[in-house]
Chains A and B, each alone.
Chain A
Amino acid sequence: MDYFSAAFSAALSLIFSFDREVYTVVWTSLHISIVAVALAALFGIPLGILVVLREFPGKRLLQQVLNTLMALPTVVVGLLLYGLLTRQGALGDLGLLYTINAIIIGQTLLILPIIWNLSIAAASSADPRLLPTSQALGASVLQQGAMYLNEVKFALAAAMTAGFGRAIGEVGIAMMLGGNIEGFTRTMTTAIALETSKGEFEFALALGVLLLAVAFLVNFIVQYFQSMD
């Protein structure tokens, strides 16, 4: 127990002394996850609203697939993308493997089904009179989508926050596609795994505490947005 409390105390001191190494890792993680959420939202939210606005064959199947993909194992995404991005892979010439961009692509694909699916749920929760009212006022399909964005903006923000929570806490993609390169592609989760195995428990614990704080904040934001709707 002494070992743990000593480590915890050292971890807090790293956090409150604004240790450069710790915060470089934190910033890398935040940067990757924020960009991944923005990209996934860019596609996921319009697609989610479109699914609600339009009837098409295979709509139920699509939603079942999205439900399944919400629990997509991160290592599977990492593995598949590794196969594509490695030198011998189809996209190997792009030289993306072991870069931040590779992790961003992986996390975007990981959370796209989450944001897409939660956007469908958000748009479906809108008042059923919203669509006929918008149509009766002469809204084009794009304008109808904009009305949904306005009406369920808090639920959509909650969807984005949930996606961010998944991205910031994942380790498989960051490890396999980023390579855990110090000062470059090292994220909070990969650093925790590495530093623990190296015996640098204080450093890992400091990052763990910060990761927990981020998770807590994300959860708080999701609940806030849900209470606004």
Chain B
Amino acid sequence: MESLYQISGLAFSYSGRKVLDLDELHIARNRVTAVVGPNGSGKSTLFDILAFLRRPDAGRILFRGSPAPGTGSAGLRRQVGYIQQKPYLMKMPVRDNIGLGLKFRGAARADIDSAVNAVAGELGLGPLLERDAGKLSGGEIQKVALARALVLQPEVVLMDEPFTYLDEGSLHDIEEWIAGQRTSREKTIIFSTHDRLRAQSLSDTSFNLINGRAYPFSSGNLFSGALDVNDNTFTSGNARFTVPESVKSGHKLFIDPKHLVVSTERLSSSMRNNFSGTITSMSTVNGEVHLTIKAEVTFHAVITRRAMDELNLQLGNPVWVSCKSSQISVI
């Protein structure tokens, strides 16, 4: 699959504190990518960099295969539609807000008007066009910001936390729009969210961003807790994990769902992390089985269909969840 962005060795710091540290990250062209992470994980900074509003301290970004010069290039920024978290609308009517980017590009008034009318019609914003932008609801602001980006027909649309501050109706509209883009495959959509389920249901690919680092997407297995370096353990609630000796600090523990081994009996193996629990949900996504297992903590495991059949797993079954300490990351 062709990559729109190819990022390597990217780092960004705020007053000496590293907020982004990405070894390698590829974002597919004409696909929907979700960036999942809690507040303060570096999502907005990453989006600012992808929109060419910030220059990284280090690293390389290839955009459509060519090195991106960083910030300062209005030409490059004009290829990206960026809807920031809590978008800002200018003190002018909605119509002028939507057409602003075209005005910056020197488009004729008539062309701006017809483009604005078209995109407003598509997003159901027609009745709002003559309204003052300062009098819109959160959902309306989000949609106007989307229209303002889309009217420019950008190759990529970046949406930073587009689902926050939305009412039910607007939420549905934005979800529908992303789902439509996923089907049409005409644009690259990158959105961030802290909602893992929404990320999974709306995107082609997703990754976790935690403390500025990218990890393979999981629908779970990120636990907060305390590390004890004396006996190499990490305690989260009632669960106690054995972690690699090399771990010296961190307050979040991460296990890739594919690294969890699910069995019906306790394994007599070298795996030092074993928890007994019950299957509380099962679903099939892209041919893989996603399990939710309630143990001392709630685990999310991904197994093959064949493994599920062999183990004859059913909802409510007691199972064991195991993993090697070497499969555990502490962040």
Q: A residues touching B (Cβ–Cβ < 8 Å)?
A: 127, 129-130, 132-133, 135-140, 143, 147, 150-151
Contacts and interface: CB of A to CB of B under 8 A. Distances in A.
Nearest to A138: B78
A150 B152 contact: no
Contact of B74 (A127, A140, A150, A151): A140
B93 interface: no
Contacts of B53: 132, 135-136
B51 A150 contact: no
B84 interface: yes
Contact of A137 (B48, B86, B91, B101): B101
A129 B92 CA distance: 15
B14 interface: no
Contacts of A143: 104
A151 B87 CA distance: 16
Nearest to A143: B104
B77 interface: yes
Given A138-B101, A150-B91, A151-B90, A133 B84 contact: yes
Contact of B90 (A135, A138, A150): A150
Given A138-B152, A139-B74, A133 B104 contact: no
B68 to A, nearest CB: 15
Interface of B: 48, 51, 53, 74, 77-78, 80, 82, 84, 86-88, 90-92, 100-101, 104-105, 148, 152
Nearest to A135: B53
Nearest to A152: B91
A78 B74 CA distance: 45
B105 A138 contact: yes
A138 B53 CA distance: 10
Contacts of A132: 48, 53, 84
A140 B88 contact: no
Contact of B104 (A127, A129, A139): A139
A127 B100 contact: no
A137 B104 contact: yes
Contacts of B88: 127, 129-130, 133
Contact of A151 (B77, B82, B91): B91
Given A143-B104, A150-B91, A151-B91, A136 B82 contact: yes
B77 A135 contact: yes
Contacts of A130: 88, 90
Residue from the set A127, A129, A136, A140 with the largest chain B CB neighbour count within 10 Å: A136
Contacts of A150: 90-92
Contacts of B105: 138
Nearest to A229: B91
Contact of B86 (A129, A138, A147, A151): A129
Given A129-B87, A138-B78, A140-B104, 17 more contacts: A129-B88, A130-B88, A132-B84, A133-B87, A133-B88, A135-B74, A135-B77, A136-B51, A136-B82, A136-B84, A137-B100, A138-B101, A138-B105, A138-B152, A140-B74, A147-B90, A151-B90
